[in-house]
């Protein structure tokens, strides 16, 4: 039995809900356990779910009202407590946490208030369809085509892939509104949700209806095949039942796929690919095997195999969740495969719940692998792609206020440009400053369970070097102080008694963050490389002995993100001796 006032008393509802909305804390409860039975009918694109969920009151006060949200393409059928139906109001709730841009909310009143940290177990039932829907993107102006290749989730006759919260709310969630047109709103809502779900477990049993035996039947949950239980044959449609391994939700969106996958197994990676995509699968597996020893040397032995899963839409935007990558394998670019493998294998070796460490290191690994295979310049070119995005967003942030400095810092940010691109540059700069051996030792010393505060990783790094790095962490990690801007203030050279040249360079940092800047001095027939630490709004002096007269000084080889690189070349005039 259910109460859907919306159909009966719209006027009354508006009054009640607008009052309730004022006091409604949608994030009061976390969901600590899901035990769900899924009925999937690929031909109808239908999903029907029954199961138990456990809610925990995360607030300091007793709560009597709980909110359960599912995708707007699904409807609540019943919510029960101790075998008794609970009263609830079902209403649409506009939010971009779901691909449809809206949720179906059940606002339910519990018979007794749940105390702080207390839990309550509910039995839920809901159903509907999951079709391709990119409403949340098209309504903010994304062209239809691009939007559909980004929000590609759907239950489909030949191929099914659906990602969890942040894409499709196919299991109940409870979040405040997320709005893609408001800066980082979606990322912030998602981060709060993932933090609350960090210790949650999900167990799935699934029944897939098959109308003919040629339909795909392999079901994967978070990249792992679910075990078949029974296969009923009753003349009509067949049902395939599977038990999926319990999965900790950690920081990822639980992902389901039903496909006709073939498997390519290698020691470091398994690739699941669709018929005809053998070449793409081989390229990925080979790239992984080639780079695996290098990644393990940097980031430790693999905790799990990296997993690559094919997507049917050959233009689909790739999606990663830990060591799993969902990407179209229709084409084969060995360079793309190599970069993807370096990233995935890093996740397979190393885990941190802090995005600037987790994602920053995985991107850093991509640059390292390029350097190892094709030299430093190739890595710097790759960093350059990230750097330009970074320069743009640092410039758009304008003069930073103190609270922005903290909220945009690497340890707090929800901005992907910062925790991916900027973090990668930070790891690269640290490697250049303290050396490879010291940085590898710091990474090896990292233990996720001991990471209780933002300063944990910086302290591990500081322990490996005599250098004072506090200023660096202040400018780049704990705060967002923007970027440096280096300029040669002056350069003088004189000939020494032995015939060599002594060049004295004064470098100004006009920017708001300090860094150690690489300096290239060009001379006839070669160049000399030095590094100089210059703090924010400060200057530094370096003396370089050269075998020939200096011609030109170039600051920054591209490894340090800088706000203005137009003033980085300095011609040493013959007069300056
Ligand atoms: Zn990643």
How far apart are the CA of 320 and the centre of ligand 1, in A? 6
How far apart are the CA of 342 and the centre of ligand 1, in A? 10
How far apart are the CA of 299 and the centre of ligand 1, in A? 14
| pLDDT tens profile 537-557 | 999 999 999 999 999 999 999
| pLDDT tens profile 94-142 | 999 999 999 999 999 999 999 999 999 999 999 999 999 999 999 999 9
Of 142, 139, 207, 200, the residue nearest 173 (C-alpha): 200
How far apart are the CA of 253 and the centre of ligand 1, in A? 13
Of 28, 26, 36, the residue nearest 254 (C-alpha): 36
How far apart are the CA of 362 and the centre of ligand 1, in A? 6
Q: What is the DSSP letter of 448?
A: G
Tokens representing residue 480 in the block: 């967002």
> Strands 102-114 and 88-94: what pairing?
antiparallel
Rounded to an integer, what is the distance from CA 515 to the centroid of its chain? 26
How far apart are the CA of 79 and the centre of ligand 1, in A? 37
How far apart are the CA of 278 and the centre of ligand 1, in A? 24
How far apart are the CA of 363 and the centre of ligand 1, in A? 7
DSSP code string of 528-559? EEEEEEE-TTEEEEEEEEESS-EEEEEE--SS
CA distance 244 to 207: 11
| Alpha helix stretches (DSSP H) within 397-435 | 402-407, 416, 423-434
| Alpha helix stretches (DSSP H) within 315-407 | 334-349, 355-374, 376-396, 402-407
How far apart are the CA of 252 and the centre of ligand 1, in A? 11
Q: Inter-axis angle of helices 355-374 and 423-434, to 10 degrees?
A: 60
Q: What value does the mean pLDDT take over residues 439-449? A: 97
> Taking phi first (over 0 means left), then psi (-120 to 50 degrees means alpha), and beta for anything else, what does residue 525 get?
left
Of 358, 331, 357, 327, the residue nearest 341 (C-alpha): 327
Q: Is the pLDDT reported for residue 233 higher than 80?
A: no
Q: Is the pLDDT reported for residue 474 higher than 60?
A: yes
How far apart are the CA of 170 and the centre of ligand 1, in A? 23
How far apart are the CA of 312 and the centre of ligand 1, in A? 21
pTM for the model stands at: 0.87
How far apart are the CA of 432 and the centre of ligand 1, in A? 22
How far apart are the CA of 197 and the centre of ligand 1, in A? 19
CA atoms within 13 A on the CB side of 365: 32
How far apart are the CA of 322 and the centre of ligand 1, in A? 6
Diameter of the chain measured on Cα atoms:
99
pLDDT at 290: 95
| pLDDT tens profile 94-104 | 999 999 999 99
How far apart are the CA of 177 and the centre of ligand 1, in A? 26
How far apart are the CA of 344 and the centre of ligand 1, in A? 7
How far apart are the CA of 255 and the centre of ligand 1, in A? 16
How far apart are the CA of 510 and the centre of ligand 1, in A? 33
Using DSSP's 3-state secondary structure scheme, residue 185 falls into helix
How far apart are the CA of 101 and the centre of ligand 1, in A? 25
Using DSSP's 3-state secondary structure scheme, residue 342 falls into helix
| pLDDT tens profile 3-39 | 343 343 334 444 444 444 457 899 999 999 999 999 9
How far apart are the CA of 311 and the centre of ligand 1, in A? 18
| pLDDT tens profile 204-224 | 999 998 877 766 678 999 888
CA distance 159 to 42: 8
- Give, as residue ranges, everything with CB less than 5 Å from ion ligand 1: 320, 359, 362
Q: Is the pLDDT reported for residue 393 higher than 80?
A: no
The region of weakest confidence among 7-16, 40-49, 463-472, 501-510 is 7-16
How far apart are the CA of 533 and the centre of ligand 1, in A? 31
pLDDT at 299: 98
CB neighbour list of residue 178: distance below 8 Å, 6 or more residues apart: 95, 96, 97, 185, 186, 188, 189, 190
How far apart are the CA of 351 and the centre of ligand 1, in A? 10
Of 38, 33, 30, 32, the residue nearest 244 (C-alpha): 38
* Residues 433, 559 contacting (CB under 8 angstroms): no
How far apart are the CA of 309 and the centre of ligand 1, in A? 15
How far apart are the CA of 543 and the centre of ligand 1, in A? 41
Task: Give the end-to-end CA distance of the chain in Å, rounded to a whole number.
Answer: 92
pLDDT at 11: 40
How far apart are the CA of 280 and the centre of ligand 1, in A? 20
Q: Is the pLDDT reported for residue 58 higher than 60?
A: yes
pLDDT band for position 249 (cuts 50, 70, 90): confident
pLDDT > 70: percent of the chain: 91
How far apart are the CA of 359 and the centre of ligand 1, in A? 5
How far apart are the CA of 73 and the centre of ligand 1, in A? 30
How far apart are the CA of 111 and the centre of ligand 1, in A? 43
How far apart are the CA of 274 and the centre of ligand 1, in A? 23
Work out the mean pLDDT of the chain and round it to a whole number.
Answer: 90
How far apart are the CA of 293 and the centre of ligand 1, in A? 19
Q: What value does the mean pLDDT take over residues 459-464? A: 97
How far apart are the CA of 107 and the centre of ligand 1, in A? 35
How far apart are the CA of 378 and the centre of ligand 1, in A? 21
How far apart are the CA of 357 and the centre of ligand 1, in A? 10
Tokens representing residue 393 in the block: 């967003």
How far apart are the CA of 194 and the centre of ligand 1, in A? 16
Q: Is the pLDDT reported for residue 391 higher than 80?
A: no
CA distance 358 to 416: 12
Q: Is the pLDDT reported for residue 576 higher than 70?
A: no
Tokens representing residue 114 in the block: 């749940």
How far apart are the CA of 200 and the centre of ligand 1, in A? 21
How far apart are the CA of 216 and the centre of ligand 1, in A? 29
* Residues 75, 128 contacting (CB under 8 angstroms): yes
* Residues 237, 185 contacting (CB under 8 angstroms): no
* Residues 346, 363 contacting (CB under 8 angstroms): no
Q: State the DSSP H helix or E strand holding residue 242, giving kind and residue range, or none if neither.
A: strand 238-243
């Amino acid at each position: 039995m259910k109460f859907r006032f919306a159909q009966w008393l719209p006027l009354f509802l508006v009054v009640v809900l607008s009052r309730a909305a004022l006091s409604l804390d949608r994030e009061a409860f976390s969901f600590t356990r899901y035990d769900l039975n899924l009925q999937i009918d690929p031909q109808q694109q239908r999903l029907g779910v029954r199961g138990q969920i456990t809610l925990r009151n995360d607030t300091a006060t007793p709560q009597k009202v709980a909110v359960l949200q599912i995708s707007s393409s699904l409807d609540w059928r019943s919510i029960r407590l101790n075998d008794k139906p609970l009263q609830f109001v079902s209403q649409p709730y506009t939010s971009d946490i779901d691909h449809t841009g809206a949720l179906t909310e059940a606002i339910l009143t519990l018979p007794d208030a749940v105390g702080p940290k207390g839990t309550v177990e509910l039995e839920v039932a809901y159903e509907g369809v999951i079709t391709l829907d990119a409403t949340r993107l098209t309504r903010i102006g994304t062209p239809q085509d691009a939007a559909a290749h980004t929000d590609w989730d759907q239950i489909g006759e030949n191929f099914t892939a659906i990602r969890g919260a942040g894409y499709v709310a196919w299991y109940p969630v409870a979040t405040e509104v997320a709005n893609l047109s408001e800066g980082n709103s979606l990322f912030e809502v998602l981060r709060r949700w993932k933090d609350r779900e960090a210790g949650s477990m999900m167990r799935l049993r699934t029944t897939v209806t098959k109308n003919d035996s040629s339909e795909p039947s392999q079901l994967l949950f978070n990249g792992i095949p679910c075990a078949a239980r029974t296969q009923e044959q009753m003349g009509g449609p067949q049902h395939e039942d599977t038990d999926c391994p319990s999965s900790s939700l950690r920081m990822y969106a639980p992902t389901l796929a039903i496909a006709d996958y073939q498997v390519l197994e290698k020691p470091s990676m398994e690739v699941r690919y669709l018929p005809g995509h053998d070449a793409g699968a081989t390229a990925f597996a080979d790239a992984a095997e080639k780079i695996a020893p290098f990644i393990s040397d940097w980031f430790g032995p693999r905790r799990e195999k990296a997993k690559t899963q094919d997507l049917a839409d050959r233009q689909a935007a790739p999606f990663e969740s830990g060591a799993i990558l969902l990407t179209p394998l229709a084409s084969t670019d060995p360079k793309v495969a190599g970069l993807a493998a370096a990233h995935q294998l890093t996740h397979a070796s190393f885990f941190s719940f802090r995005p600037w460490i987790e994602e920053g290191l995985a991107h850093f690994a991509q640059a390292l692998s390029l350097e190892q295979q094709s030299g430093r310049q190739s890595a710097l070119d790759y960093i350059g792609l990230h750097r330009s995005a970074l320069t743009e967003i640092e410039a758009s942030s304008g003069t930073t206020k103190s609270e922005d400095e903290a909220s945009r810092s690497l340890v707090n940010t929800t901005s992907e440009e910062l925790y991916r691109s900027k973090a990668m540059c930070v790891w690269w700069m640290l490697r250049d400053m303290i050396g490879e051996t010291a940085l590898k030792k710091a990474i090896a010393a990292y233990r996720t369970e001991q990471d209780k505060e933002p300063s944990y990783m910086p302290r591990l790094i500081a322990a490996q070097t005599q250098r004072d790095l506090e200023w660096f962490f202040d400018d780049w990690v704990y705060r967002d102080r923007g970027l440096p801007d280096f300029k040669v203030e002056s350069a003088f050279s004189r000939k020494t008694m032995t015939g060599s040249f002594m060049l004295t360079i004064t470098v100004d940092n006009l920017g708001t963050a300090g860094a150690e800047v690489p300096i290239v001095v060009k001379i006839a027939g070669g160049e000399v490389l030095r590094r100089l630490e210059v703090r924010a709004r400060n200057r530094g002096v370096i003396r370089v002995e050269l075998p020939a007269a200096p011609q030109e000084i170039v600051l920054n080889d591209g490894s340090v993100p800088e706000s203005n690189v137009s003033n980085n070349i300095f011609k040493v005039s013959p007069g300056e001796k």
